Structure 1
Amino acid sequence: MDLQRLATASRLANIDAFHVMELAKQAAELERAGRHIIHMGIGEPDFTAAEPVVPLMPDPSYPCNRHFVAAFDGRAKMIPSGPAQRFQLTAEQVQAHWGEQTRGVLLASPSNPTGTSILPDELARILKAVRARQGFAIVDEIYQGLSYDAPPVSALSLDDDVITVNSFSKYFNMTGWRLGWLVVPDELVGAFEKVAQNLFICASAVAQHAALACFSPEALAIYDARKAEFHRRRDAIVPALESLGLRVPVKPDGAFYVYADCRGVNHPSAGDADALTQAMLHDAGVVLVPGQDFGPYTARDYIRISYATSMENIEEAMARLAKFFA
């Protein structure tokens, strides 16, 4: 096997490294040197599995999605989506950007990095536009269990031809168990089974038993309480960020992320998310994520904040950042 050729394949060259992972690595080095670092970068819940469990794309969007497309010789068309669109695609954008080689759309609601959901009426219009063009619609609903301001609406309730992706990682706090599910139209079941059989055959038995335990009354009560805690953190962190000059143009309604405009902060690196997050780490001991991880559109203007950490850490981080921006 030509390992050098594999390592330098052009398809791999088109996949960007995560800024968040580089910052996490630097944070680990600082921690080994004795610094106390508050992690508000990686979106991993600070909760573990509940005890009864036995221990065309919008820009910005989750970076792995476009990298998956590139790895299979596809090309993700990133459509600029700002605050006016809630950082999501609209039906008008789908219609305007659909070309001869377009095959479908990949959406996420609620979204990483913005925590915003596609409003039900808009989602219905998007699905209608895709169907009219005989395309496919894949909707990532992994964060849908963490919707705070209104009951979530699944794409499955709006269209029979949609493909939805879900996981036990976020609402069920089972990050690392590598367990999720797809809902696909009947005519695609056979094709997806073939892919699954050749990639992983099945999920591990222990993960399946743990997932079943998630639906026990005791576990569901715990998850509801944890959702309420995330809601409380969201309501605390958004005004705190605003008071620091980190403007939140669209209040997140789900997930555990805030996408904040960093151009108005009192710092020489205002409007340069990468430089600013580096300075925050080294000077304040707080890890946040620059917008460059999530697509090029206005990426330097935004940072992502994860509130998947304790309220005590959130309060301490805001206090540190207040001194940092003073």
Structure 2
Amino acid sequence: MLRLSPRIARIAPFYAMEVVKQAAALQAQGRDIVQMSIGEPDFTAVPAVVEALERTARAGRTQYTEAVGIAPLREAIAGFYQTRFGVAVDPSRIIVTAGASGALLLACTALVDAGAQVLMPDPTYPANRHIVTAAGGEPVLIPAGPGDRFQLAADHIRRHWTPRTAGVIVASPGNPTGTSIAPDALAELIREVRARQGFTLVDEIYLGLSYEGDRRSALALADDLIIVNSFSKYFHMTGWRLGWLVVPPQLVSVFEKLAQNLVICPSTLAQHAALACFQPESLDIFEARREAFRQRRDYLLPEFERLGLAVPVKPDGAFYIYSDVRAHAADSAAFATRLLHEAGVCAVPGRDFGTAETASYLRFSYATDMARLQEGVARMERLLR
């Protein structure tokens, strides 16, 4: 038996995947399951991206690229920040990565020493804390309830920062809650972290899927942040494994060195194909799809309230509803099993996302078409009433 690193024991299973496996087993038996579990858009890459991939492959452009990504893609991403978010970003600050997970791995390798603590909200996306653990750090989950919009706030930094704390990771909009941090609140949080000489990493992979007010990148607030983004959610390219970082100018060479050694380069084919995401006709499609997600959210919220699936904070982004199910069950994991086996609806129990009252919550994804969501609501109504 090989001896494993002790950090393996500190990385929990991804329970959402376990639920999905159960759903797949039922489907294999002929059951029809309404999927409201996985955070993957039902939309896929737009035609222009697929065509660009085909052209790139036929042209034989499959060799390694620069470790930080091809220059045209970095320039296109910078242009997107300017036109969509009104923020000027030097393309040299953009590091193209193997997905947002690859971006987080690079960031934690660069910023997290062995034993260093990283603050993040509870609930939070599980991979964020596990990547910190894999880098040798210690994730510190801080309970953040409905009164905090399930997000970290400046007061959390003041109360929980210790000599071992290296920085914070926040996501806006976040997974599993779909809630964002207000710009003034985020600015105050950044100031508190900066005063303690820590890093602030902002996960913005759902920023493009924001539904209320202006979509504002945290880059508008400060230029000493680490920003993570991805082509998976707004651009609907999950399996292409392509993301990016925006880093302060003085850290570009650091991240380039790490990328050269750890990943060589992101997928060449995916990089060239992703250039087509920024064509006007592609952006029009993405905006139409964003509106479709918003319509799904606006359909589900009153239906959930009607069914007693309370939503204490209205999600303003992503494609998740974080529902308090205490009116129906004391344990959300058991309730998720009941929904799956008795109603044929697959949702994710809160235990994936932390320990702070997560046994009371289910995460529902509305990354599926409206007809299936309506069927899911009808099934849950029959079960609950």
Matched to 2:351, the amino acid is Q
**Residue of structure 2 in register with 1:28 after alignment:** 24
- Give the counterpart of 2:240 among 169, 172, 177: 177
User: What does the per-residue CA deviation read over 1:282-315, in whole Å, with 9 as the maximum and x for residues that have no partner?
Assistant: 1111100000000000011100000000000100
Runs of 4+ in 1 over 4 A off after TM superposition: none
- Structure 1 unpaired stretches of 5+: none
Q: Deviations over 1:206-260 (max 9, x none)?
A: 1012210001111111101000000100100111111111100000000000101
Shift of 1:153: 1.6
Write the deviation string for residues 140-164 of structure 1: whole angstroms up to 9, x where unpaired: 0000000001112211111111110
SS in 2 for 1:259: strand
CA distance in 2: counterparts of 1:311 and 1:73, whole angstroms: 43
TM-score relative to the length of structure 2: 0.81
Residues 271 and 302 of structure 1 are in contact (CA less than 8 Å); yes or no, is this contact kept in structure 2? no
Instruction: Write the deviation string for residues 2-35 of structure 1: whole angstroms up to 9, x where unpaired.
Output: x6212xx321111111221111111111111100
1:134 match: 197
The corresponding residue for 1:53 is 49
1:271 deviation in Å? 2.4
Q: Give the CA deviation at 1:274.
A: 0.4
Q: Which residue of 2 aligns with 1:80?
A: 143
* Equivalent residue runs for 1:61-100 within 5 Å: 61-100=124-163
Report deviation, 1:187. Answer: 1.0
| 1:104, distance to aligned residue in structure 2 (A) | 0.6
In the alignment, which residue of structure 2 is the partner of 1:317? 376
For residues 379 and 342 of structure 2, the distance between their equivalents in structure 1, rounded to whole angstroms, comes to: 9
Partners of 2:257 and 2:34 in 1: CA distance? 44
In structure 1, the residue matched to 2:363 is 304
- Structure 1 equivalent of residue 353 of structure 2: 294
Question: Partner amino acid for 1:297?
Answer: A
Question: Which one of the candidate residues 178, 188, 195 is aligned to 2:258?
Answer: 195
RMSD: 0.9
2:215 equivalent to 1:152: yes
Residue 321 of structure 2 aligns with which residue? 258
- SS of equivalent residue, structure 1 residue 137: strand
Which amino acid is the alignment partner of residue 318 of structure 1? V
Query: Structure 1: how far apart are the matches of 2:47 and 2:318?
Result: 22
Please state if 1:284 is matched with 2:343: yes
1:264 Cα deviation from its structure 2 partner: 1.1
Name the structure 1 match of 2:170.
107
Counterparts of 1:119 and 1:243 in 2: how far apart (Å)? 28
Q: Is the 8 A contact 1:15 1:67 kept in 2?
A: yes
Residue 12 (structure 2) pairs with residue 10 (structure 1): no
Distance 1:271 1:189 in 2: 48
SS of the residue corresponding to residue 77 of structure 1 reads: strand
Structure 2 Cα separation of the partners of residues 274 and 287 of structure 1: 11
Counterpart CA distance in 2 for 1:19 and 1:166 is: 24
Q: CA deviation at 1:95?
A: 1.1
Counterpart CA distance in 2 for 1:243 and 1:271 is 19
Q: Deviations over 1:64-102 (max 9, x none)?
A: 011011112210110000000000001011111000000
Structure 1: distance between partners of 2:142 and 2:236: 31
Residue equivalent to 2:103: none
Residues in 1 aligned to 2:273 and 2:226: alpha-carbon distance in whole angstroms: 25
SS at match of 1:138: strand
Shift of 1:51: 1.2
Count of equivalent residues = 318
| Aligned partner letter, 1:53 | V
Q: 1:38 matched to which residue of 2?
A: 34
1:145 aligned counterpart, secondary structure: helix
Q: As a proportion of its length, which structure holds more helix?
A: 2
SS at match of 2:228: strand
Partner secondary structure for residue 209 of structure 2 = coil
| Structure 2: stretches of 5+ with no match in the other structure | 52-118
Q: Distance in 2 between matches of 1:153 and 1:92?
A: 22
Counterpart among 111, 121, 128 of residue 184 in structure 2: 121
In structure 1, distance between residues paired with 2:353 and 2:378: 27
* Partner of residue 206 from structure 1, selected from 269, 275, 294: 269
**How far apart are the structure 2 equivalents of 1:104 and 1:247?**
33
